Structure 1
Amino acid sequence: MKIHASRPLSARRASQPGRIAIAHDYLTQKGGAERVVLALHRMWPDAPIYTTFYNPEGTFPEFKKARIITSPLNRVGVLRSDPRRALPLLPLASSLMHVKEPLAVVSTSGWAHGFRYEGDTLVYCHTPARWVYLLEDYLGEGGQRSLKGRVARALRPALRAWDSAAQLRRTRYVANSTVVKRRIEEVYGVANVDLVFPPHSVSTDGPQAPIPGAEDLAEGGYLLSVARLMPYKHVDVAIRAAERTGRRLLVIGKGPEEARLRALAGQGVVFAQDLTDAQLRWAYAHAVALIAASHEDFGITPLEASAWGVPTVALRAGGYLDTIVEGVNGVFVPEPTVEAVTDVVEQVLAQDWDRGAMQAHAEHFSEVAFRERLARLLDDPHGAV
């Protein structure tokens, strides 16, 4: 594989009005990637945000104050509610997104780095496209035999070609975790990829609001899962493990696995989604442990839990290797099985935890730290953080 280095950014001051844009794949949900875009928006509140889809009711309300520029596909409600349905159309729609500003900061896990940019690009990559390079992981065991799985496999060669061409046109890539840094270097053949950890931003200072239907869980505490309901998140493992320990479980998230997971869950499991930050604070404040047994590009939920002094049961893989210090804010599980997770949950619940040490660890991943590192990267034409 040919290895090439990222080109230096032009010496432009990003703070100048009208000279910077923000881009993101689609703003339709409340995930860690969307929190990154929120942090970027707070850095440059006047910068337009280019995205293929925008659903104001599905994502964070702060975006309602931003100038959002979408693709024509955004007019199709069924696609706006679930952009995965637009997979065959997204390469063309993304290629037609025209960004004219001299500098764009691009948050992406597949589509936004393929927009048409006139200026330089700093690509903050959450992962190279899962539906190209990690398709089996993305679809899950059941999804591989589905119509969506067959379509995705048929499209993969064309999507790979489109994605590779998009990467070659970009100026500089920044990874959000160590595992993604390696993945970018291996998949794209890019040398010396910079690393800037994303921020956790569920502040402990704000108000709390109980989650309807979950108030009874607060008495005595509960196990917590905060993840999109996708196959690779292994929420089903969390449900079965909680049942074995006799603990109740609060599942926060939505996605295509919702119906299957609800059918699997017993009476001790409560589902919630589209929460406000006040409700999310309440969820962390009353939890006794977070279960995070998924394959993550960056493990942000353990940091949110750490800010509240809540330990995490985390899969020893991916981004959790960056955000978990074993014995400080969590314990690793070797594999995402019910037996392994059950054993480690019981270990975590029996252990005494230092709340102050957890919170100090979380501070290394604050929004202030993220903004400072990104600003240094933009100010340095050689890209040194």
Structure 2
Amino acid sequence: MKPKKIAIVAEWLTSRAGAEVVVYELAKMFPQADIFTTVFDPSNHPKLKKRRVKTSFLQKIPVLNKIHQLALFLLPMAISSLNLEGYDLIISSSSAFGKGIKKPSGSRHICYCHTPMRYVWEPDLDNRLAKLPLGNLIIKWLKKWDLKSNKSVDQFIANSQNSALRIKKYYGCESKVVYPPIATDLFKNVKTSSRRDYYFTISRLIAYKKIDLAIKACKNIGRKLIIAGSGPELKKLKRIAGNEITFTGQIGEREKVHLYCQARATIFCADEDFGIVPVESLAAGTPVIGYKKGGILEIIEDKKTGVLFDNQTAKSLRAAIAKFEKLSFDRNKLIKSSMKFDSKHFKDKMLSIIKSL
């Protein structure tokens, strides 16, 4: 099939995170494609300012058009309300609701799945729903909806081998693996001074990212830590931080590049399906100290491109930092190891899958 008209679907375009990187790259690959989403905040997405972005009814509802999390019960309805008639190919980017589109007759739907809904299928890792009143009933309802929405998908693409296993486990569906596109070009020809005496982490500040472990570990051994990003955990994290911990808030690409390049190492405490942060760190020539579970096992080789720690505890992280400080790493080898995740690989593999449909 040779697609004539393409739609790119994002579940929401409010804040910026890893999923948006995929949407940006798809938009770049298909400059004539229309973009659909439930809610859109153009101020947070300047890369899409010249694109036609079509939204759902949620866009017209104050507050909900900025804080999509409050619209949980409306999101399945909102995503399925998007009018995709006339599109030959639909590519959805989904970690929760994106794949729940209403597929028109004759269309093909590729779902780039970052993860099956974490707070539904793995509430032990992400308890945002489970801890709510009637949380278990909400989870039961969303599981049914999630499985039903798989029927519209012609081809699942997983963002890692780790995600592919979970798609198989929870959905019973096979998937092809295409790693997310990492803008390794950002780090090329960057003029940086020598390493500075700090560790770095960048993340949305939400509970399952486990930023508190990095704070506790660095505070305990008197190491400087710079934390970039924002989120609902900010106040809580600031309360436990000491004088050696710096919060930058949201930062631009240029500042991000320099913070990566000058750090002793990047700390990554989350159990993620893939993990864009470790790849960006390698592209900057900076080793990673990371939790030994999830997608990071496809990125970091222990003692060669970083140090992995076994338990998601501050004690285990402290031991990893101590081990790291006794090792040395070749910056050029770190950069080389990031190249298999660059945007060209993503583009080539996606186009190959599309042509095979």
**TM-score bracket for the superposition, by shorter chain length:** over 0.9
Q: Distance in 2 between matches of 1:219 and 1:80?
A: 42
For residue 123 of structure 2, the aligned residue among 113, 116, 135 is 135
The TM-score normalised by the length of structure 2 is: 0.93
Q: Higher relative contact order at CA 8 Å, sep ≥6: structure 1 or structure 2? A: 1
Which moved further from structure 2: 48-57 or 119-128?
Answer: 48-57
Q: Distance in 2 between matches of 1:269 and 1:144?
A: 31
The TM-score normalised by the length of structure 1 is: 0.87
State the match for 2:319 in structure 1.
343
Q: Distance in 1 between matches of 2:127 and 2:278?
A: 24
For residue 180 of structure 2, the aligned residue among 189, 198, 209 is 198
Q: Distance in 1 between matches of 2:298 and 2:248?
A: 28
After TM superposition, the runs of 4+ consecutive aligned structure 1 residues lying more than 4 A away are 206-209
Structure 1 contact 245–346 (Cα < 8 Å) conserved: no
SS state of the match for residue 364, structure 1? helix
Q: Once superposed, what is the RMSD of the aligned Cα atoms?
A: 1.9
Please give the residue correspondences for 1:269-348 in structure 2 after superposition, counting only pairs within 5 Å.
269-348=245-324
**Match for 1:52: what amino acid?**
T
For residue 223 of structure 1, the aligned residue among 199, 209, 223 is 199
**Match for 1:157: what amino acid?**
K
Structure 1 contact 309–356 (Cα < 8 Å) conserved: yes
Give, in angstroms, the shift of residue 40 of structure 1. 0.6
State the match for 2:55 in structure 1.
70
SS state of the match for residue 285, structure 1? helix
Q: Deviations over 1:277-297 (max 9, x none)?
A: 112112112211111011101
Q: Distance in 2 between matches of 1:366 and 1:116?
A: 32
Structure-2 change in CA distance of 1:354 and 1:42 (3 Å): same
Structure 1 gap ranges (5+): 1-10, 210-217
**Match for 1:169: what amino acid?**
S
Matched residues, number: 352
Please give the residue correspondences for 1:153-232 in structure 2 after superposition, counting only pairs within 5 Å.
153-191=136-174, 193-201=175-183, 203-205=186-188, 220-232=196-208
Give, in angstroms, the shift of residue 263 of structure 1. 1.1
Give, in angstroms, the shift of residue 303 of structure 1. 0.8
Q: Distance in 1 between matches of 2:148 and 2:231?
A: 30
Give, in angstroms, the shift of residue 247 of structure 1. 1.5
Give, in angstroms, the shift of residue 208 of structure 1. 8.5
**Match for 1:135: what amino acid?**
P
Structure 1 contact 208–281 (Cα < 8 Å) conserved: no
State the match for 1:55 in structure 2.
41
Give, in angstroms, the shift of residue 226 of structure 1. 1.2
Structure 1 contact 198–365 (Cα < 8 Å) conserved: yes
Give, in angstroms, the shift of residue 182 of structure 1. 0.6
Structure 2 contact 101–152 (Cα < 8 Å) conserved: no
Q: Note if 1:99 corresponds to 2:84.
A: yes
**Match for 1:96: what amino acid?**
S
Q: Note if 1:117 corresponds to 2:103.
A: yes
SS state of the match for residue 79, structure 1? coil
Q: Distance in 1 between matches of 2:332 and 2:188?
A: 15
Structure 2 contact 195–263 (Cα < 8 Å) conserved: no
